[in-house]
Structure 1
Amino acid sequence: LVEAERRAFADRNTYLGDPAFVDNPIPKLLSAAHIAKMRASIEPDKATPSSEIEGSLGADEGQHTTHYSIVDAKGNAVSITFTINYLFGLGQIAGDTGFFLNNEMDDFTAKPGVPNSFGLVQGRVNQIEPGKRPLSSMSPTIVLKDGKLFMVTGSPGGSTIISTTLESILNVVDFGMNMQQAVDAPRVHHQWYPDLVFIEPGLLTPKTQTALKDMGYRFKEMTSWGADEAILLNPKTDLLEGANDRRRPAGLAAGY
């Protein structure tokens, strides 16, 4: 009973409100499939910490850049990254459309030598000019091998998009990982300034990190970044391998 109440209150506090303002998902919460899912999540010999329970209908829409990779039955591939740059973009709605205007102007060099919101220190060639497009980190990528489709990949993450995309490709091509292993592998990022090596937990052993520090490298450990959504056309099996980045579980790798 306690475990059922724990889950019910998690859903209540996450999804329900005044129906004049909120589209309450009552049919989903009371559906047989949802109830069976909640029942199966209860372990009879172990309490579930409340910190491990969130609203059970899935993750809310994220606040970040979005990427998706697609390959159809004929081998046509699409890699798309889209964004309004920062949280809520410019913070202004375009008329009565309901859409936020982007603040991609931050991708320009507003002042040489001064970092933008992602810490990038950029030069004069990227300064603002009429009709000019800013230098973006978005890297939707399609990789070919011998002229044939090999991989489709890309990620959100601001300036880390470039390193995230690069490392997933290297993990497959140079280290022989499958697509999910390549996406799951701990990441490293350096963007010139700040002069720090950003690393995810588990990338380096303490001994290796100490040796690199002795060589002059400075490290900052971050919890995680990026959300690579990738597809590999395995040349050995001719099968498509889809990988969803577990760092942001709202994504999905799906076939048809």
Structure 2
Amino acid sequence: MKYFSYLFLSVALWASPGPAATAQQAPSPYKTRFAVDAPITVGLGAASGLGLYLIQQKKGLTNTELTALDKNDVPKFDRFSAGNYSQKAQTASDFLCYGSLVAAPALLALNSDVRSRYGQVLGLYVQTLTATDAVFTLTVGSVTRYRPFLYGPDGDASRNSKISTNSFFAGHTAHTATATFFAAKVFHDFNPGSAAEPFVWGAAALVPAAVAYYRIEAGKHFLSDNIVGYVVGATAGILVPQLHKKASNGLSVLPIQGLTPQGHSYSGLLLVKQL
């Protein structure tokens, strides 16, 4: 994983002028303040830096330690991928992961309402990615888990590298899920009830799943590593924009009536809150 490559790209996008706003800006569903959000983003970046430092302090395995590895020591639900190795699968996962980090904000720019608030959305994107990266680097820097390919004969010099101990959890999957679910969440918030939502959410779910598949085939991560990465990334992608949503009652009251399974009639009011 090329740590922080996405961060520099996103900051560059944030700092550059966004697409021209329309004459009258569409109302944003989000409330952001530079004085609050900028320090939060910087703090998350500092946490990521600490995690990266911890990763650099890790040590790889000696040849003797490699010889002692036994795939039977791997939990049964992960054992099927022990020994996997594929350069093509690794390249595919890199392409999908790094491509999604660029594609997510680019595709959002195609929506006129999002485009009119593009600077704010990009700021949230940077913050969301740094949140994921802080969790990722601090976890990888603190946890040693051997990558699946070490349980097979392939890998050459990388078998002794410190990055061979960085299996938990899957960073490519986490960062991809962050980007895709962030894009889907923002699209939903700017376009509630859009007919395109099922396709947007479906794509958001499928792309990181594809990355997870290729990371397993490449021998970089076990299934459980990818599940955790997927959950962390999707949670950040949805939660950070949600925490910035403007306060709104969003309440509606509807009359309801019907029959219970026992045949008794009932009536009342249904209180609905839109998230």
Asked if these proteins are the same fold (TM beyond 0.5), I'd say no
Higher relative contact order (CA 8 A, sep 6+): 2
User: How does the TM-score come out when normalised to structure 1?
Assistant: 0.21
User: How does the TM-score come out when normalised to structure 2?
Assistant: 0.20
Greater fraction strand: 1
